Amino acid sequence: MKERGWLVTTVLLGGVLAAPAALPVAVLHGKGEFTIAEWLPGFLAVWLAAVGLFISTSGPTWEGVPAWCRGIAALSLGALAPLAAMSNQHNTQADLALLAMAAAVVLHLRAQPSRWQTAGVLLTAVACGLDATAFILPLGWFWSGLRSKTGHAQAWTLVFAGLGGLVIGRLVGLPMLSGYRIQQSAYAIHRDVAVILAVLALGLAGYAQARFPRRPTHPGWWLPGWAAVSVCVLLAGVLGFAVNVRLAVLGLWWLMPNGLAELAALLQGRLTDDRITRTVGLLVALAIVALAVPGLLAWRGGMLMGLYLLPGGG
């Protein structure tokens, strides 16, 4: 299946996977009742984010990464992202934050510089206003910009936009974080992290493997910085700070295709013909399948809930 086939698959299957995945949190917030108003924003946000991930990873930064790797990463975003936000108190706000951040990333990666300077920056500010965890995107740019000779201006622009978004969000009365109550955050965060363990492993490997150019004119030059900040923020979340897990790991989702591509090459013997390296690759693949089990079980729970909610299902 080529690029177009995987795009169609991502669009169709992404929706199919996201629909039941968005159910548990919607029913939870509806106090046991399903309402379309609780479900629809979450469903649309992750569906669009998944499609955005697939489209935005087709540029030169992912040169050599097969379409199926990008498709799998996008589908996993559609299936798991809603389940990694089960404990958010303000779930619609969290969904909008995810959508705004994903859209900002897509624009930064795909649009021409003159365009991203308006829409991309604006969406970054909106994402930060909706959830302070989104500030990892400007911080990632800033980190990358520190190493670059010419990227300072872009980095500072985004940092100020993010800060502006944070201030405006507070001024209009939005809570700073869309997520957890402080004293209950640790267990909830860990439950959310457990759903995306396979994404973490593949994203971490992709992050360690990805070699993006430092030139700021290149669309993906800031990705390693974003991923680096994502890892730091995720570790803070694991320690109990009430960050939004799925926003924190979004950068690793964008690097997951690189990890998948390398693992596939390792298994197929394209990287090396050494038997031991390939054996290790096989064991790693099995471990990642095992790590995916909590996420698959959570998605299955959403699907069963969906079957129950269908007319005649109960």
Partner 1 sequence: MAEDVAEQWTDEAGRRGVALSSPGAWLLHALVSPASLLVVALLVHVAGRIAAFCMPIKLDSFYYTISAYRLWRAGAIFEDLIPDKPPGQALLTGWVYHLWPGEPSRLAMIPVESAFMLAAYGVFWWLARRLFGSPLAAGLTLFFVIAHNHYNGLETITDGFNLGENYLMLPTLLAVAAHLTIASPIKRGLARGLAMGVALSIKQASVGLAAAFLLHGLLSSIRSKTYRQAGVAGGLTVIGIGLAWSPMLVFLGLHGWLGDHLRELAALSGEHAAIMPIAWPPWHNLVPLVPLAWWIVVGAVVRLTSKRAGAVGKSRGSEGWLVGFLLCWLAIEAVGVWSMTKPGTHYYQQVVSPMALLAGLAIAALRSDTGRRWAASERETTWRWLGATTATLALLAAMPVLAAGSMRVYKFDPRVEVVEFAQWQATWSPSRAADHLPQRAKP
Binding site for partner 1 (CB under 8 A): 60, 63, 143-144, 146-147, 183-187, 189-190, 193-194, 197, 200-202, 204-205, 207-215, 218, 224-225, 227-228, 231-232, 238-240, 259, 262-263, 266, 271-272, 274-277, 279-281, 283-284, 287-288, 291
Specify the residue for token string 């990287």. Answer: 271
- CB of 20 vs partner 1, minimal distance in Å: 25
Beta carbons of 55 and 34 less than 8 angstroms apart = no
C-beta closer to partner 1: residue 5 or 59: 59
Q: How far is the CB of 193 from partner 1 (least distance, A)?
A: 7
Instruction: Name the residue among 124, 136, 126, 133 with its Cα closest to residue 172.
Output: 126
Residue in 41, 49, 42, 57 with CA at minimum distance from that of residue 14:
49
Given the complex with partner 1, which of 9 and 87 has the nearer CB atom?
87
Which CB atom, from 114 or from 183, has the smaller least distance to partner 1? 183
Smallest gap, in angstroms, from Cβ of residue 10 to partner 1? 24
Distances (CA, A) of 27 to 98, 175, 179, 308: 19, 22, 17, 12
Select 297 or 307, whichever has its Cβ closest to partner 1. 297
Triad 232, 28, 178: Cα angle to 5°: 35
Smallest distance, partner 1 to C-beta of residue 286, A: 9
Supply the minimum distance, in Å, between the C-beta of residue 115 and partner 1. Answer: 23
Collapsing DSSP states into helix, strand and coil, what is residue 79?
helix
Compute the least distance from the CB of residue 287 to partner 1, in Å: 5
Q: How far is the CB of 47 from partner 1 (least distance, A)?
A: 26
Q: Measured from the CB atom, is 225 or 306 closer to partner 1? A: 225
What is the smallest separation between the CB atom of 8 and partner 1, expressed in angstroms? 29
Q: Of 37 and 235, which has the nearer Cβ to partner 1?
A: 235
